[in-house]
Amino acid sequence: MTPGSFAALLTVTDVLGGVVEAAPLTVTVAPPLSLTCGASPSGGVAPLPVTFSAAATGGSGAYAYTWSFGDGASSSQQNPSHTYTTAGSYGASVTVTSGAQSASCSKTISVSAPALAVTCSATPTSGTAPLVVSFACQPSGGSGSYVFDWNYGDGTAHDITQNPSHTYSANGTYTAVVTITSGGQSATCQQTITVGGASGVTVSCGATPASGPAPLAVSLTCQPSGGTGSYTYDWDFGDGSPHLTTQNPSHTYSAGGTYTASVAVVSGSQSGSCKTSITVSGSPLTIDGLTATVLPDGTYSIDWLLNDTDAAATAITWSAAVTAGGGSVNPTSGTSAPGDAANTTYSPNGATTGTITITASDDQGNTAAPQSVTVP
């Protein structure tokens, strides 16, 4: 039917054919409803803002629009805008209603992921082995979901964390490369790491005092430099006593002589050493001829001589003690004149062995080097 307004006559008749009532009517026929739509732009890189338009004709002249953007969002505006944040192909459609009529129109929007890019850093980029390096990686673009693959360039296993740490243990120049994938895209970034050997270890040392009469208490010092900065020490005092591993030890030389105290310092794969000389003059007081003689009752007679060349000395005080094994001595101390013999008795008391040590000093401040005997 042609759209427009038409005059009509409504006639009502009864069953006998008589006209009961007649009334004129106006009939309006609406034109067909049609709809056009547009989208600008229809494609691009996410996030993609799109302006939509819709134009309806026909119908009753009053229009209601409903937009569906294809990603779960909608609008009731005639010409809305919408931003697509994720890559994909979307069908955007609009439906218009006017009276009893409706019409639809649709557009396809193609959204691509932004180009994948990556920056990376390494701290530090150079140093001595072993070198601990912290890596950092910052991706952008792509689908927003990333997979990381770090190749440290030294033949060790790859790492799939974003910001790893790695230790380079050997000298060399290394290229660390991170590869990132996101969707169908990939990107790389690299850093150059230079690892050099530790500098040589330099050691200075000293002894205070460096000379004096026995027993001589000496404070030894050691000052290293170079290497990795972390050091281990091994002191040899040159008199057959046990080594010490402290940096600045003290040691007592009990007998006269010239000793070379040496310290070895190790730092990583590097080492250095230093020596210092200590001169100890002998004490005028000596413990001589220390012997142990077994007695019929199973005890031992411990005997020695106390010699003193200091003419001013008139009395010597001595002590006896069990310094290893078991048992006991009696007496444990006494006083003798220079040149005299001294004695104590050692009782095993069930011990299989015992070491008895004798010490002595005179009234002039002279101290003898300790002497020991082990029984049986």
| pLDDT greater than 80 at residue 28 | no
d(CA 68, CA 52): 11
Task: Specify the pTM.
Answer: 0.41
366, 311 in Cβ contact below 8 A? Answer: no
184 shares its domain with 149: yes
CB-count exposure of residue 40 (10 Å: 0-12, 13-18, 19+):
exposed
Last residue of a domain, one of 161, 196, 231: 196
Q: Note down the domain range covering 173.
A: 117-196
State which of 264, 281, 298 marks the end of a domain. Answer: 281
Cα–Cα distance measured from residue 67 to residue 104, given in angstroms and rounded to the nearest whole number: 10
**223, 188: one domain:** no
In a domain, 22, yes or no: no
The reply to whether 169 and 225 lie within a common domain is no
Tell whether 370 and 290 lie within a shared domain: yes
Whether residue 274 is found in the same domain as residue 234 = yes
Q: Is residue 12 part of a domain?
A: no
67 domain residue, yes or no: yes
pLDDT per residue as tens digits for the range 274-311? 999 999 988 889 999 999 999 999 999 999 999 999 99
pLDDT at position 226 over 60:
yes
**Which tens digit of pLDDT belongs to each residue from 66-97?**
999 999 999 999 999 999 998 899 999 999 99
End-of-domain residue from the set 180, 196, 212: 196
Looking up residue 294, the CATH number of its domain turns out to be 2.60.40.2410
Q: Determine which of 23-32, 217-226, 364-373 has the lowest per-residue pLDDT on average.
A: 23-32
Q: Is residue 16 part of a domain?
A: no
For residue 8, being part of any structural domain is answered with: no
Flag whether 78 is in a domain. Answer: yes
